Amino acid sequence: MKDCFLTILFCENHLTGIVLDRTPLRIYFITLLNTIRMKKILSLIVLAAFIGIAVPSYAQDTTAKKDGIVKKAGHGIKKGSKKAWHGTKKGAKAVGNETAKLATKGKAKITDKTSDEWIGPRGQTIYVDDDSKYYWISGSGKRIFVPKGQLKAKQN
């Protein structure tokens, strides 16, 4: 390494080239320059990918004029998704209530007696438990206990 000479060529204050006399030092500087170039190229690729991902999101948020009113596309999407979620929630709740109702009625038919002489205030089937309490099963599967004074006689 004693006899290594490094010559840097400048032209109008810009680096134009590096001339090395010895091979190991030359390889080191070429590798260094290639690394710097690769970092720049990689950073440009990352920037291009970021812009490629970010730009379509702005396209979804464009405005459209309808009947003189400016509306955003995103608002319609949000409104539609809320309606879909509301429908899903409503359907799931109905299925859950029906399942609970059927389970409660099945248990009541097995463990309690069905009253032959009484019906509920709105014509519901009345069940009698072990403590002689009267109840009917609501639409959500809950047992609603009824005093004997509110019961109606069943007409045959």
Nearest to 118 by CA among 82, 73, 152, 71: 152
Helix, strand, or coil (residue 154):
coil
- What is the token pair recorded at 47? 């920037």
Q: What is the pLDDT of residues 10-28, one digit of tens each?
A: 555 555 555 545 566 667 7
| Distance in angstroms (rounded) separating the CA atoms of residues 37 and 47 | 15
Q: Helices (H) and strands (E) in the chain — how many of each?
A: 2, 9
Label residue 2 by pLDDT band (50, 70, 90): very low
Q: Give strand ranges (E) for the chain.
A: 6-11, 14-20, 63-66, 69-72, 113-119, 125-128, 134-137, 143-146, 152-153
Residue carrying structure tokens 């709740």: 93
Q: How confident is the model at residue 60 (pLDDT cuts 50, 70, 90)?
A: low
Give the lowest-confidence range in 71-75, 84-88, 122-126, 137-141.
71-75
Residue 126: how many CB atoms within 10 A of its CB? 22
DSSP H or E stretch at residue 152: strand 152-153
What's the pTM value of the predicted model, to 2 decimals?
A: 0.45
**Phi, psi (degrees; rounded to nearest 5) at 61:** -105, 25
Sign of CA dihedral 81, 83, 84, 86: positive
